[in-house]
Structure 1
């Protein structure tokens, strides 16, 4: 697995800022890209992992569905 370097690594229990990164995992000779967002809201730690099968085939980047994360974060107490 190859991950893009993160600018700042902060323990999540001390941070209110989300942490995001992209990575590529080799699967049967194909590079499988995926993206991760981790955030904390109150005492809840949430993470979203997104992979795109089309990106595995085409090798092109894909957009992380930020609207999905925003909607789900709004539901957390």
Structure 2
């Protein structure tokens, strides 16, 4: 089981700030694809990724008990 965290616009799109998922041993890119398939309203383009509070690439593998955070771009002035 993994925990997936969402912030800002993604929280608004889902109405949730986190999900528990049964997947593990898959690349972040695969997790993103599964999330988009399950939640078509979710936008994960240009999103930074962290696994267990460390920035990660899309090819990094997510393991059981990991916490994956999708961090949307920040804008402001």
TM-score normalised to the size of structure 2? 0.25
TM-score normalised to the size of structure 1? 0.25
Flag the structure with higher strand content: 1
Between 1 and 2, higher relative CO (CA 8 Å, sep ≥ 6) is seen in 2
